[in-house]
A and B are shown apart, each in its own frame.
Chain A
Amino acid sequence: MQNGKDVKEALNKKAAYGPDLDLDDYKVGTYTPDKMENIDEISDDLKKRIVNVGVTTCKSTRSGTMFFVDNGPSLITSDTDGLELLPMRVAAKKYDLSEYLWKAVDPGKDKYTSKTYLEDSDGYFIRVKAGKKIKMPVQTCMLLSRKKQMQNLHNIIIVEENASLEVITGCTTGKHADDTLHVGVSETFVKEGGFLKFSMIHNWSDSTHVRPRSGCIVEKNGTIINNYVILNRVASVQSYPVTKLNGEGASMKYSSICIGHDGSDIDTGCLVELNAPKTSAEIVSRSITFGGRVVARGKLIGNAPGVKAHLECKSLVLNDGGVTLAIPELESTIADVEMTHEAAVGKIARDQVEYLMMRGLTEDEAVGMIVRGFLEGGISGLPDELKKDIDDAIAKANLGS
């Protein structure tokens, strides 16, 4: 890790990608939001928004819930054996986390990580004890509640040896929380034989800027499945999570679904370092653009023998006026690797639309069915809630239902 001086200097360091933002334009959000005893206390208006990002008030379907409003915890519930949910600041006092804190993300990476480091931001701390298989997903919800505010979070997930966990994290804004900035640093550690499925669903306001900074370290035979979904209009998102497969046989799958609307700038993707023998990775990104700018990145770096990895960026462009950019990269430092990529950008094939119309579907219905299939295809195990959101987004975009 760099020293404090370097990190402070990084406060002025622009991110490698995405539009640059001036942090001074935003006020740091409160660390002490109103506390809730129960998730049912959420207002109906807010309930609607959090349901849209995969968060449910139905307690029987979740192993635990963490609700953050701006920069502080508002609600934490969990009584599942082997599962620990704490606010990050509490966990850091309770445990020696020096082997985890800022070990998967460099605080001097850019102004956003630097700010989070210097703020000593709170966030969620989730740990599953060795050998424990947590049946129901843990859900976390990050709400930005006030306009002109910045949300800084520092999250840690630890899946210990042979443990398994699913996390659904939904991020959204409250009513009138315009012109906001979300910065979330997430560090994830999957130990030997561990399994983590992590789905992140974003539904921001159209004037929110989003800068997640994520790093994952996966040990021997560990598995991480990472889904990212953004369907609604946003000002800008720039994220490029880095996963290091450091133990033999470790594997990861990263899938993303993005819809680019007019005026949005979405620059997402993922970098995977395959640092140990027989590690494997699959990156699948599907995006559709109505306008705005959508960049799908992906990079695989093979550093060990017997590595297998595939990268797929596919984008459907539904009308003129936007920019779609697919950037797949493969890098290898040794001979014995098998890495492939596939990128495609284009319109919906006319013959496919006509084939469905021959069966009596209207043109809009046919396009909707193809787009839905395109977005969902290649992404296995998508939570059911998300499938409904995709249908809703397509319907809203006048692509048939």
Chain B
Amino acid sequence: MLRIEDLHVEAGGREILKGINLEIGDGQTSVLFGPNGSGKSTLISAIMGLGHCKVTKGRMIYNGIDITNLPIDERARLGIGMMMQRPPNITGVKLKNLISVVSKDNGSILKKAGEFNMDRFMERDINVGFSGGEIKRSDLLQLTAQRPKFVLLDEPESGVDIESIGLVGKKVHDLLYGDELCGKGCVSALVITHTGQILEYIGADRAYILNDGRIKCSGRPMDLLKDIRERGYKECIQCRMVKM
């Protein structure tokens, strides 16, 4: 579904990604681990095409189409959707208005706002005064309306209180596996997580550790998470690199 070849990306005048090679197949969910500042957010921002990420070398092929230089909205229309870690406030634009425009089901998603515990927020300006959990639930509602085929999630559990994590996890699960038109497992995903909490709700196939702009190792998500928890990134990477 997505193939990334030797991707180099600059952000803020610095080279952040230094040659990423990655392939995610149809219906596969991959997880990105890595210490702060390793380039995880830059990688998924570059896949989405956000302006602050400048691709200096390499390319990204999505379903056979080279998307490296496509504008964000064209990538979105090809089926790529993203949940940012910290989305901006959109003052004056009501959540309901955006969802109505984005919705692929003539707005019937609006009736489901209550399932996301977002019914009280539909008339509010997007993200303005929202708590961490409200921002995530709002983004998930938007993504559910959008029905992407490839989902980029940047720390979906961050800033979410312990009570809401179950709802966020369930909605991420539904986003990946709940599309009755597509059939189970046809949505692919690349998920950044620090805590691994979200992995309790989705079945990830493969995990990668990113450090200093390069993928240092890969493995089964739970195995990598266990190693990172027990030994820390540095030792985990060193140990696994030896094994590789």
Interface residue ranges, A against B (CB under 8 Å): 349-352, 354-363, 365-366, 369-370, 372-378
Q: Are B73 and A360 in contact (CB under 8 A)?
A: yes
Q: Which of B59-67, B85-93, B176-184, B217-225 contacts A (4 or more CB under 8 A)?
A: B85-93
Least Cβ–Cβ distance between B156 and chain A, in angstroms: 15
Rounded to whole angstroms, the CA-CA distance of A373 and B146 in the bound complex is 21
Q: How far is the CB of A250 from chain B (nearest CB, A)?
A: 29
> How far is A171 from B69 in the complex, measured between Cα atoms in Å?
49
Bound complex: CA A374 to CA B102 (Å): 20
Chain A residues within an 8 Å CB radius of B48: 358
Residues from chain A with Cβ under 8 Å of B92 in the complex: 370, 372-378
Q: How many Å from the CB of B46 to the closest CB on chain A?
A: 13
* CB–CB B76/A360 < 8 A: yes
User: How distant is the Cα of A365 from the Cα of B101 in the complex, in angstroms?
Assistant: 10
Q: What residues of B have a CB within 8 angstroms of the CB of A377 in the complex?
A: 91-92, 125
Judge whether B81 is part of the interface by a CB distance below 8 angstroms: yes
B73 adjacent to A370 (CB under 8 Å): no
Please name the residue on chain A nearest to B92 by beta carbon: A373
A357 touches B93 (CB 8 A): no
Cβ contacts A to B, 22 pairs, < 8 Å:
A352-B89, A354-B50, A354-B51, A355-B84, A355-B87, A355-B88, A358-B72, A358-B82, A359-B81, A359-B98, A359-B142, A360-B77, A360-B146, A361-B102, A363-B71, A369-B97, A370-B92, A372-B92, A373-B90, A376-B92, A377-B125, A378-B92
| Alpha-carbon separation in the docked complex, A355 to B92 (Å) | 14
Complex formed: what's the CA distance from A374 to B51 in Å?
Answer: 22
Cβ of A254 to closest chain B Cβ, rounded Å: 19
The answer on a CB contact under 8 Å between B146 and A351 is no
Residues in B neighbouring A365, C-beta threshold 8 A:
101
What's the least CB distance linking B113 to chain A, in Å?
Answer: 16
**Given the interface contacts A350-B51, A373-B125, does A358 sit within 8 Å of B81 by beta carbon?**
yes
How far does the alpha carbon of A362 sit from the alpha carbon of B48 in the complex, in Å?
14
Using CB atoms, name the residue of chain A closest to B91.
Answer: A377
Which interface residue of A351, A354, A360 has the most chain B CB atoms within 10 A? A360
Chain B residue with the shortest CB-CB distance to A360: B76
Residues of B contacting A366 with CB < 8 Å?
73
- The minimal Cβ–Cβ distance linking B85 to chain A, given in whole angstroms, is 12
Q: How far is the CB of B148 from chain A (nearest CB, A)?
A: 9
Q: Quick one: which of A351, A357, A375 contacts B71, CB cutoff 8 A?
A: A357
> Distance (Å) between the CB of B173 and the closest chain A CB?
21
Nearest Cβ on chain A to B168's Cβ, whole angstroms: 19
Chain B residues contacting A360 (CB-CB under 8 Å) are 73, 76-77, 102, 146
Distance (whole angstroms) from the CB of A354 to the closest CB of chain B: 6
Which residues from A are CB-within-8-Å of B91?
A: 373-374, 377
Contact A359 B90 (CB under 8 A): no
Residues 84-127 of B at the A interface (beta carbon under 8 Å): 84, 87-94, 97-98, 101-102, 125
Distance in angstroms between the alpha carbons of A365 and B73 in the assembled complex: 10
C-alpha gap A378/B92 in the complex (Å): 8
From B99, which residue of chain A is reached at the shortest CB distance?
A359
* Chain A residues whose C-beta falls within 8 Å of the C-beta of B94 in the assembled complex: 373
5 closest A-B pairs (Cβ-Cβ)? A373-B92, A377-B92, A373-B93, A357-B72, A360-B76
CA distance A370 to B125 in the complex (A): 11
**A359 to B76, Cβ gap below 8 A?**
yes
Mark B199-236 against chain A: 1 for CB-CB distance below 8 A, else 0.
Answer: 00000000000000000000000000000000000000
For residue B76, which residues in chain A have a CB less than 8 angstroms away from its CB? Answer: 357-360
**A394 to B: closest C-beta gap in Å:** 12
A112 to chain B, nearest CB (A): 35
Q: How far is the CB of B102 from chain A (nearest CB, A)?
A: 5
Central interface residue in B76, B82, B87, B90, by most chain A CB within 10 Å:
B90
A324 CB to nearest B CB, Å: 18
New A-B contacts (9) at CB < 8 Å, excluding given A355-B88, A370-B92: A351-B88, A352-B89, A354-B51, A356-B98, A358-B48, A358-B84, A370-B93, A376-B92, A377-B91
Residue of A nearest to B90 (CB): A352
User: Residue among B71, B72, B88, B146 with the most chain A CB within 10 A?
Assistant: B72
**Residues in B whose Cβ lies below 8 Å from that of A362:** 73
Q: Is the CB of B73 within 8 A of A349?
A: no
The smallest beta-carbon distance between A36 and chain B, in angstroms, is 40
Q: Name B102's contact: one of A352, A354, A359 (CB within 8 Å).
A: A359
Q: For residue A354, which residues in chain B have a CB less than 8 angstroms away from its CB?
A: 50-51, 72
Q: Which residues of chain B are near A370, meaning CB under 8 Å?
A: 90, 92-93
Q: How far is the CA of A366 from the CA of B125 in the complex (A)?
A: 15
CA distance A374 to B128 in the complex (A): 13
Q: Report B-chain residues with C-beta under 8 Å of the C-beta of A374.
A: 91-92
Q: Roughly how many angstroms separate A349 CA and B102 CA in the complex, as a whole number?
A: 21
Most chain A CB within 10 A, of B91, B92, B94, B101, is at: B92
